Amino acid sequence: MSDDAPQRRGCALVTGAGRGIGAAVARALAADGWAVGVGYHAGADTAAEVVRSIEEAGGRAVALGGDIAAPDVLERHFATLEETYGPVLVLVNNAGVRVDGLSPQLKDEDWARVLDTNLTAAFRAMRRAVPPMLKARWGRIVNVASVVGIRANPGQANYAASKAGLVGMTKTVAAEVARRGVTVNAVAPGLIATDMTADLDGELLKAVPARRPGTPEEVAACVRFLASDAAGYVTGSVLTVDGGMTA
């Protein structure tokens, strides 16, 4: 890594990084030399463990707690990272929640909670991250969407809307910033073995041609590529990580 590499001038922020996909992404980016902000809402102990594992491997990380649906929390995250490591040049919007139910049963608060966390917070984080990236003429944004934003999954209208919104937002912002060395992409995981999917119907596995769930590390490997110099000509793309579910 050269002295003027982006990692020397900035850092990465991964939301929802206390466990699962986010934790795997944080470790992968740290292995590439990024100082990483490990965002989390609940589970301070697990977030601290992610930080500890990064530091033990020779990396740099800091845990950043709070509900990112609150704008002031996101601002604190960015301010802390900028003061400690410099501008956020890699942003991974991974934080997400589910409140499932058939459409007639979903309450307004169920809709709002999912959209506020999964989509609106991601927009605010991108809006905050883009100006320093444009100034640096280098930046990577990766939004963690879902195959549910591409194909139907009854009982998840709010979740599907939030993830489809992420896909549309990814493509639009990518076109807006492409000339300045900033890429914006999405990954769309399918059935991944995490705490968030532990309660899903086992029948869903039958829709996966690979006949197995994916791992957080397999998703993280895709994010790691999209955040690298090697992916400099990849922008506005949606990379499905789903064992063939959407083939």
Using alpha carbons, select from 78, 95, 235 the residue that is nearest to residue 170.
235
Amino acid at 172: T
Which residue(s) pair with 218 in the sheet? none
Which residue(s) pair with 37 in the sheet? 13, 62
pLDDT value at residue 200: 63
pLDDT value at residue 204: 75
Given a cut of 50, the residues of the chain with pLDDT beneath it are: 1-3
Q: What is the mean pLDDT of the chain?
A: 94
> What letter would DSSP give residue 69?
T
Q: Under CATH, to which class is 6-241 assigned?
A: alpha beta
The answer to whether 233 is a known catalytic residue is: no
Burial class (CB in 10 A: 0-12, 13-18, 19+), 28: buried
pLDDT value at residue 12: 98
- The answer to whether 136 and 87 are in contact (CB under 8 A) is yes
DSSP string, 110-155: HHHHHHIIIIIHHHHHHHHHHHHHHHHT-EEEEEE--GGGTS--TT
pLDDT value at residue 206: 84
pLDDT value at residue 14: 98
pLDDT value at residue 3: 47
Catalytic choice (40, 85, 159, 233)? 159
Q: Taking the domains of the chain in order of start, what are their residue ranges? A: 6-241
Q: Note the pTM of the prediction, 2 decimals.
A: 0.94
pLDDT value at residue 31: 97
pLDDT value at residue 1: 43
